[in-house]
Structure formats: C-alpha cells, structure tokens
Amino acid sequence: MDRSTPGTLRKDAVVTIEAVKRALLAQTVEVPSWAYGNSGTRFKVFTTPGTPRDPWEKIADAAQVNAFTGAAPRVSLHVPWDEVEDYDALATHARDLGVRIGTINSNVFQDDDYRLGSLANPDPAVRAKAVAHHLDCLEVMRAVGSTDLKIWLADGTNYPGQDSIRARQDRIADGLAEIYAALRPDERILLEYKFFEPFFYTTDVPDWGTSLVHCLALGDQAQVVLDTGHHAPGTNIEFIVAQLLRLGRLGAFDFNSRFYADDDLIVGAADPFQLFRIMHEIVGAGALDPALGVNFMLDQCHNIEEKIPGQIRSITNVQEATAKALLVDADALDVAQRSGDVLGANDVLMDAYNTDVRPLLAQVRQEQGLDPHPLRAFAASGYADRVAAERVGGTQAGWGA
Ligand code: LRH
Ligand code: MN
Ligand code: MN
C-alpha cells in the first residue's frame, strides 16, 4: 500500500483498507475464566468489589467483554477451578449470554500428590492419577462442546540429581500418549511450555523445542501453546512463532506481557512492538485465518486493576497490533527484502507500526453496531456497580488460594 505521508492511511487505498477491516472484523480472542477472579502474588491477593463467586459469574463477566468488543466470543475454563455439577448447563448459560466455552485447561499443579511432578512423577500411581485427570478433562470438553485440551505441566526438579532428566521425559511421553490415544479425530492436545517455575533446576517441558518433540511424537492432533510470558528475557518470540507456523504446529497463544518473568500483565502493555512483530509473522503466514487453527487466547491476571476493563484493554491491544500488522505493505517489503535493502525493508515495517490505527478500529466497531470506545462504554454501562452490589465474597483466581 502506498502512503502519501508516512504513518497515515492513504485515502485512495480503499480496497486494501476494506480487506484490513474484514480481517479485523473476523478476528476473535479467547478470554480466560481466571482473569475475572481475584489474584495476586504470594505476598498479597487484593480483592475487587463485584468479583465473581463461581464459574457462572465469571462467564457473565466474560460475556461483558464480548458485548463491548464484539471480539471475545469464547471463554477458557480451568479444571478444577471451574468445576461445576452440570457442564451442559454451564455451556447453555454461556450461549445464553452470547459466548461459548472454549479451551479446557487441566490442572495438575495444586494437589499434594504432585510434589514430585504429575506425568513425570517417579511414582506410577501419581502418574496414573494425572492421566486420569486429563481423561476427565476430555469429558468436560465434550460436555461443553469444546475440542481443545490445554496441558501445562508444572513438573520439574529443584536440585541436580533429584531425578533422572531422561526418565522424566520418557514418563511424560508415555503419559501424553495415553491421553492422546483418547482423543477423537476433531480434538486437539495443546501442550504449553514454560522455562521455569514452580521448579527451579529442571522443568520437564521448558521450551518450544521440547513441546514440539512431544507433539511430533504424538501426531497431528498435538500442537504447541506459546505463552508469551514463558521465555527467558531477550528470547526472540516471533522467531518461534515463525518456526512453529512453518511446521503447522502452532496451536494457540497464551497472550500476556511481562517485564521480568511470568508476570501475566495485560498483553501489549510491556512491549507493544513485540506484539506487533508476533502478529506480523501471523499475518505473513495467513494464520489469522481460523482454518489454520491458531487460537488467540489471553492468559492474564489483574492483580490491582479492574478485571473486565483489563480484559477489554487486552482485546483492543491485540486488535491494534493486528491492524498494524495487516497494514504492512507486503509487496514493498518483499521488494526491499529481495533487493537487500536493509533500511528500506525495516522502514516498511516501521511505517505500519507507527500508524495510528485507533480511528480505523473505532470505525470497524461502529460498523458492527458497537460503541467505538469499548472501555468508556463499559464504564458508562453501570455493570460494575451492579455486580459490586449483588455479589458478596468473590473468590480468588485459583492459585494463591
Ligand atoms: C502457567 C500458566 C498456564 C496455567 C495458567 C494459569 O504459568 O501460564 O497456562 O494454566 O498459567
Ligand atoms: Mn499460560
Ligand atoms: Mn504462565
């Protein structure tokens, strides 16, 4: 796309802008149920008025995020944090509020039995318990009409020699294979990695390479989850995105942002340029298209800020990064890259990044019949005051409880 002035949208580039708008309209982001609960650090959990008391209320809050952004139609659940008697009824409740239940997250990190790990545990009885939990999660998944099971294994060791690194990999491979064998053809395992925490010497699935190795061994229905906060500082995340996309193994993102480690802050808050670079790889690979199967999820906590506005801001941050990535002049970039025009290529990218896309997104929302300013509209809706009056004794977001 030509530009008359750098950083502004050319008025006659109508076709391109229409295509960008269509892509933005089609983009959806999945929100996590746990973002609506109180959370904090091991030092203090701060509560906010009106915090949901159960999964039903968490879904109601998530539906508000969808109502004001038009872009958050799915909610991830975490089991057992979101355990209910009747999952069918929970799915109906979600649908009644205009959303649906998305990815089911297993939890094998909050039970005393998992002190030495879950699927990697040296005790076969504990490993069997961890496999059984995942099979239960598959049942939840089916009851709510979802097809994705996300697995994050907190397994690891704290001291050299504590356990065999190789044996633990073998145990994880065996456990995952048991879970994978129970999948139906339209279902997926999404395997997340994280470089450290809660263990500090070895982590059993610490990086995308290890996750990929396990996914490749399992089969096509196993893909990698990239949580943006789960890397060592300085890691080039867009490189990982590009590589996993090449291999057709990028299953999903857990979006959040970080200044230090797994901070779980609002996506795009710490490093909007990194989020743009990630979305540039996504757009370049055509992976905004849902057919490629990349699920854009948030995995965040709102320790001190209001939760629903925090989620709304997260969605708009993803949309802004996506809009900028869609504005990259792919032809000009290609020409510059092929001719070895280092600064020219960089200029094409930066020109898109430096474009103010907020008016464009406001227009897209207006055309959807939404308020162009979701945060302001939510604040004016009175929902926060209403639930603060109605709900007494909100729960925590699972961990730190
Ligand atoms: C682990 C993690 C994983 C969990 C979530 C609560 O740090 O990113 O995705 O399920 O946090
Ligand atoms: Mn995560
Ligand atoms: Mn995390």
- For residue 273, report the distance from its CA to the centre of ligand 2, in Å: 21
Please tell me the number of the ligand nearest to residue 154's CA: 1
Q: Which two tokens stand for residue 317?
A: 């941050």
Question: Ligand 2 mean position to 76 CA, how many Å?
Answer: 11
User: How many domains would you assign to the chain?
Assistant: 1
Q: What is the DSSP string of 349-388?
A: HHHHHTS--HHHHHHHHHHTTS-S-HHHHHHHH-HHHHHH
- Of 189, 230, 299, 399, the one to substitute when testing ligand 1's pocket (max ligand atoms within 8 A of C-beta) is 299
Q: Which ligand is closest in space to the CA of residue 109?
A: 1
Specify the ligand 1 atom closest to the Cα of 152.
3
Q: Is 396 within the bounds of a domain?
A: no
211 occurs within a structural domain: yes
Is residue 196, in this structure, part of any structural domain at all?
A: yes
248, 212 Cβ separation under 8 angstroms: no
**How confident is the model at residue 338, as a pLDDT?**
98
d(CA 223, CA 383): 38
Residue 360 lies in a domain: yes
Question: Is residue 310 in some structural domain?
Answer: yes
Distance CA 94, CA 101 (A): 7
Domain of 246 in residue numbering reads as 14-390
Reported as a single tens digit per residue, the pLDDT across 10-48 is 444 444 899 999 999 999 999 999 999 999 999 999 998
Task: Judge if ipTM > 0.95.
Answer: yes
Q: Can you give the pLDDT at residue 121?
A: 99
Distance (angstroms) between ligand 2 centre and the Cα of 112 equals 21
For 253-271, write each residue's pLDDT tens digit: 999 999 999 999 999 999 9
| CA atoms within 13 Å, Cβ hemisphere of 57 | 22
* pLDDT of 283: 97
Ligand 1 atom nearest to 197, measured from its CA? 7
Q: For residue 301, what is the domain's CATH number?
A: 3.20.20.150
Burial class (CB in 10 A: 0-12, 13-18, 19+), 3: middle
Amino acid at 192: E
The token pair at 199 is 């263990």
Asked if residue 1 belongs to a domain, the reply is no
pLDDT of residue 14: 42
Q: Indicate the average pLDDT of the chain.
A: 95
- Among 193, 194, 211, which residue has the most ligand 1 atoms within 8 Å of its CB, making it the best to mutate? 194
Residue 236 domain flag:
yes
Whole-angstrom distance, CA of residue 180 vs CA of residue 189: 7
* Residue 44 burial (10 A CB sphere; 0-12, 13-18, 19+): exposed
**CB under 6 Å to ligand 1: residues?**
34, 105, 152, 192, 194, 227, 254, 262, 299
**In this predicted model, what pLDDT tens digit does every residue of 168-200 receive, in sequence order?**
999 999 999 999 999 999 999 999 999 999 999
5 Cα–ligand 1 center, Å: 43
Is residue 369 within 8 Å of residue 10, measured between CB atoms?
Answer: no
**Confidence at residue 393, expressed as pLDDT on a 0 to 100 scale:** 73
Pick the closest to residue 205 from 222, 188, 185 (CA basis). 222
Q: Is the predicted pLDDT of residue 337 greater than 70, yes or no?
A: yes
- Nearest by Cα to 150 from 74, 61, 257, 96: 74
The whole model's pTM is what?
Answer: 0.95
- Listed in order, strand segments (DSSP E) in 202-298 are 202-203, 222-227, 250-255, 295-298
Beta bridge partners of 151: 191
For the residues 143-168, what does the mean pLDDT come to? 98
Q: How many whole angstroms separate alpha carbon 244 and alpha carbon 251?
A: 9
Residue 7 lies in a domain: no
